[in-house]
Amino acid sequence: MIKLSDCVGFITNKASKKIADVFNEKLSAHEITRVQWTALYFLGKWEYINQSELAEKMDIKKSTIVRLVDRMEKEGYVRRKKDIKDRRITYICLTELGKKLRKELLPFGEEFSKLITRDISHEEIEIFKKVLNKLVENAQLSE
């Protein structure tokens, strides 16, 4: 019988959950979640991006992105803009408040990444990323 502590899926899930929980905790003082932080990251890379593209980049469901954007719009971080040629398409952009928050909080991600990878060599990190990407590819093949 398999021991869960030896199962790659269990270990990666445990690590992912712990990393997400700690990052959320660090961001909580700013009343923002890691998912909102990720949205700020991507939204700041483009002046406008549509909801479907943002969902794809964040690797979340389209229904989830709608709720996320609703919340961020309510908090004043983003605004929506309809495409003038195709009203079915909604673009999202950062407000001035959102841009300010992004600039303030973006370094948190880099600092957190350094924190969780301390005492791990660059070579080990590169191997780890390759292995994780292979796991993702293998999981997608089994869908």
pLDDT digits (tens, 9 = 90+) for 85-124: 888 888 999 999 999 999 999 999 999 999 999 999 999 9
Task: With a cut of 80, say whether residue 142 has pLDDT above it.
Answer: no
Q: At what angle do helices 8-27 and 34-43 cross, to 10 degrees?
A: 80
What was the pLDDT predicted at 49?
Answer: 94
Task: With a cut of 90, say whether residue 141 has pLDDT above it.
Answer: no
Task: With a cut of 80, say whether residue 63 has pLDDT above it.
Answer: yes
Q: Collapsing DSSP states into helix, strand and coil, what is residue 92?
A: strand
Tokens of 116: 């969780």
Question: Residue 93 is inside which H or E element, if any?
Answer: strand 90-94
> What's the mean pLDDT in 123-136?
96
Angstrom distance (rounded) from CA 33 to CA 35 = 5
Task: With a cut of 90, say whether residue 27 has pLDDT above it.
Answer: yes
Could you give the domains of the chain?
Answer: 32-108 (1.10.10.10)
